[in-house]
Chains A and B, each alone.
With several copies, the nearest count.
Chain A
Amino acid sequence: MGLESIYTQLIMEHNRSSHNRRALKNPDISERGYNPNCGDDIVLEVEIEDNIIKDAAYSGVGCAISQASTSMMIDLVKGKSIDEALKLVDIFLSMIKKDITAEEELEVLEDSIIFQNISNMPARVKCAVLAWHSLREGLKHV
């Protein structure tokens, strides 16, 4: 896989954008995600109201892939119900594992579909999935 398919315009924009990079006032969830091999270390915060993800944001450090993946995920799940969000996490992780490959099924992931081929870069898979795992962990404990 060439660098083009991973260091894309879209990923770079999310990597450098700061609209999801902030702290929430009263997060219901604050979940640390850490990848000991490369040092990606984020804290994902989520505000929940009536079972709906009202707001989400992140802080911490990480590579372009983990940062972009986190930011895209936040854009995706905001406004969704907990169940919907968990469903999306499942679909994303299945996409990464190549368990789901059909375009129609992946559409719901919106921009995040761009990570479909990250498994061709095995050393970076963990960066792409970090935030998604953290969200799942966090939602478990609501």
Chain B
Amino acid sequence: MVKLDIEGIIDDFPTLNQDVNGHRLAYLDSAATTQRPIQVLDAMAKYNKISNGNPHRGAYQLSIRATEEYDFSRQRVKEFINAREVKEIIFTRNTTESLNLIANSYGMEFVKEGDEIVLSISEHHSNILPWQRVARQKGAVLKYMYLDDKGRITDEEMDRVIGSKTKIVAIAHMSNVLGTIHPIREIVERARRVGATVVVDGAQAVPHMKVDVRELDADFYVFSGHKMLGPMGIGVLYGKRKLLEDMPPYLLGGDMIEYVTEQDATFAPIPHKFEAGTQNVEGAVGLGAAIEYIEDIGLDSIRDHEMKLMEYTLDRLLDIPYVGIQGPKDLKSKGGIISFTIDGVHPHDVSTILDAYGVAIRSGHHCAQPLMKYMGLPATSRLSFYLYNTKEDVDQFIRAIKNVRKWLGYGA
């Protein structure tokens, strides 16, 4: 395969080739959602113009094609994360739904009173709230692993929190606020020792680094299409076959049944058991095309590219005296995400002012209020990279940052 060259790929992204507020757009919020390359848009358009049908149910060409495209995307996802079998790949709507599905079907079924559910303090709300509900309904205990001053979970912290009562450990592979890459292998090892199940929220990891679910040996692994060049409305839940088979279904209706009588029903085997209602075929097609695009570039090149940008950015940002940086600064243990604050300026004002310079970043709690509380900050600003970002984006960002305080009446 000829690798696409990462330089110049910005031309594939129509949204990025526009001016906003009289400036070129520097899109630095890919941790929230990514932009789609024309290859993905074209794949979806092609599906919509040639192959659209309700899959699994029809004996005619359009439906057969739709079924084939859907199955093909599932196969692609399977290979992308190196799952053992295609039936271990469930299509969902997004990471949030995947996590809710696991909490409801696995958690509500297998967590018992007194069991402990372990999270990290840096989890996204989507990996907190569903577990709060399980804990409350089942009388289980929710425990947190806290971060050290470099934004990392230490071995000691894992040992402190993961113990004989631990039933589930649910943790992000990469923090969406600090960029920390959490030590999944080490966590899985400890979980295995105590017989706990590990749920990994891979929303931020899968788009940016090679993920091999077999090597990680995670029990569940979930992510979203829209954060990896794919469309909104499609997400993935990977689960080990045995676990998925033992879980009751989540959404009920449509295609996921075997027999239905007036009072009862039996269910189709996995993956169909978990995919009720008309599937989002075009979403799956878009995700498949996104994976193809990512593989054409290569995840190693993507990570490499992002780390170069990170180095370049941190060099400049650390030089500015009124900028504070949260989380790890060591590039090996983090992804392309920087959370920062500007002395005397509320993060929300930072975003608005940067927007006026064409720079799109995000400010707020980043759906991680417990982490904000733990860090003692009401909010942070966050910049995040993806394969289409360039040094030009960084330069524009740094220039804008240097203007922020002026607008709030500070000398510099």
Direct contact of A and B (CB under 8 A): yes
Binding site for B on A (CB under 8 A): 2-3, 6-7, 9, 12-13, 15-16, 34, 36-41, 61-65, 67, 121-124, 127
B59 within 8 A of A: yes
B45 within 8 A of A: no
Q: Is the CB of B348 within 8 A of A63?
A: yes
Q: A18 CA to B346 CA in the complex, in Å?
A: 16
Q: Is the CB of B349 within 8 A of A37?
A: no
Q: Is the CB of B56 within 8 A of A37?
A: yes
Contact of B349 among A2, A63, A122 (CB under 8 A): A63
List the B residue with the shortest CB-CB distance to A60: B378
CB distance from B177 to the nearest CB of A (A): 13
B353 within 8 A of A: yes
Q: Is the CB of A62 within 8 A of B268?
A: no
Interface string of B47-69 (1 = CB under 8 A from A): 00000000011111001100110
Q: Is the CB of A61 within 8 A of B57?
A: no
The answer to whether residues A123 and B349 also contact, given A36-B259, A38-B379 and a CB cut-off of 8 A, is: no
Q: A63 CA to B364 CA in the complex, in Å?
A: 11
Q: Is the CB of A3 within 8 A of B353?
A: yes
Q: A16 CA to B58 CA in the complex, in Å?
A: 25
Which residues of the partner chain A approach B347 to less than 8 Å between Cβ atoms?
38-39, 63
Binding site for A on B (CB under 8 A): 56-60, 63-64, 67-68, 257-259, 268, 345-349, 351-353, 356, 363-365, 372, 378-379, 407-409
26 A-B contacts (beta carbon < 8 Å): A2-B356, A3-B353, A7-B349, A7-B408, A15-B408, A34-B259, A36-B257, A36-B268, A36-B365, A37-B364, A38-B59, A38-B347, A38-B363, A38-B364, A39-B364, A39-B365, A39-B379, A41-B378, A64-B349, A65-B348, A121-B352, A122-B64, A123-B59, A123-B64, A124-B59, A124-B348
The answer to whether residues A38 and B68 also contact, given A7-B407, A64-B408, A123-B59 and a CB cut-off of 8 A, is: no
Q: Which of B257, B259, B347, B408 has the most CB of A within 10 A?
A: B408
Q: A2 CA to B348 CA in the complex, in Å?
A: 16
Q: Which of A2, A3, A16 has the most CB of B within 10 A?
A: A3
The answer to whether residues A39 and B56 also contact, given A121-B352, A123-B352 and a CB cut-off of 8 A, is: no
CB distance from A120 to the nearest CB of B (A): 10
Which residues of the partner chain B approach A39 to less than 8 Å between Cβ atoms?
347-348, 364-365, 372, 378-379
The answer to whether residues A36 and B68 also contact, given A2-B356, A3-B353, A41-B378 and a CB cut-off of 8 A, is: no
Q: A15 CA to B408 CA in the complex, in Å?
A: 9
Known contacts A37-B56, A38-B363, A122-B67; 7 additional CB pairs below 8 A are A7-B408, A64-B345, A64-B349, A123-B352, A124-B59, A124-B348, A124-B352
CB distance from B242 to the nearest CB of A (A): 20
Contact of B348 among A9, A16, A38 (CB under 8 A): A38
